[in-house]
Amino acid sequence: MLKEFKEFATKGNIFDMAIGVIVGGAFQKIVTSLVNDIIMPIVAIFTGRVSFDDLTLTIGNSSIKYGSFITTIVDFLIIAFSIFMAIRTFTKLNNKAKELVGTDIEDEEPTEEPTTKVCPHCYSEININATRCPYCTSSLETSDVASNE
């Protein structure tokens, strides 16, 4: 079990995920500051309130904190928009790079060496190293191979 955990922990994906979580936490702090320090004061110019957190609806002994919910929605919309803009910018840069290179770097598959050839006598597919065709038993010379390539 310890060996399995070590393999899991040392995979590159878990490190990528950890870095993503750390960067995401820092990004959340930036967005929270943006909302609290810049956007909400601008909203306060129009509404007269800097924070909606204290808005509640009291029914009997229960209070519904809809102001806090509004603030959370604003946070979410700003985070979603920021992520959208970052992905959009990354996609544009990636497309620009693909245009400059002229091909998709990720989509390019390495070319494999052929493992078969066609017999020039019976047109059967045979091993590339064969010197005699297993189907028609013809002897294959190096000139026969060169004419098929």
> Are residues 42 and 89 part of one domain?
yes
Using one digit for the tens of pLDDT, what is the confidence trace for 46-94?
877 767 778 888 898 998 888 888 888 877 888 788 778 888 998 898 8
Using one digit for the tens of pLDDT, what is the confidence trace for 97-132?
888 877 555 555 667 888 889 999 888 899 888 888
Which are the contacts of 32, defined by CB distance < 8 A and separation ≥ 6? 75
Cα–Cα distance for residue pair 52/34, rounded to 1 Å:
15
CATH number at residue 56: 1.10.1200
Domain hosting residue 75, numbered range:
2-101
Residue 106 lies in a domain: no
pTM: 0.46
> For residues 126 and 118, is the Cβ–Cβ distance under 8 A?
yes
Taking the CA atoms of residue 122, residue 125, residue 126 and residue 127 in that order, the dihedral angle to the nearest 10 degrees is: 150
In the chain, how many domains are there? 2
SS3 label, residue 28: helix
Cα–Cα distance for residue pair 134/142, rounded to 1 Å:
17
Using one digit for the tens of pLDDT, what is the confidence trace for 4-13?
777 766 666 7
Q: Which of 126, 128, 123 is nearest to 146 (CA)?
A: 128
> Are residues 51 and 12 part of one domain?
yes
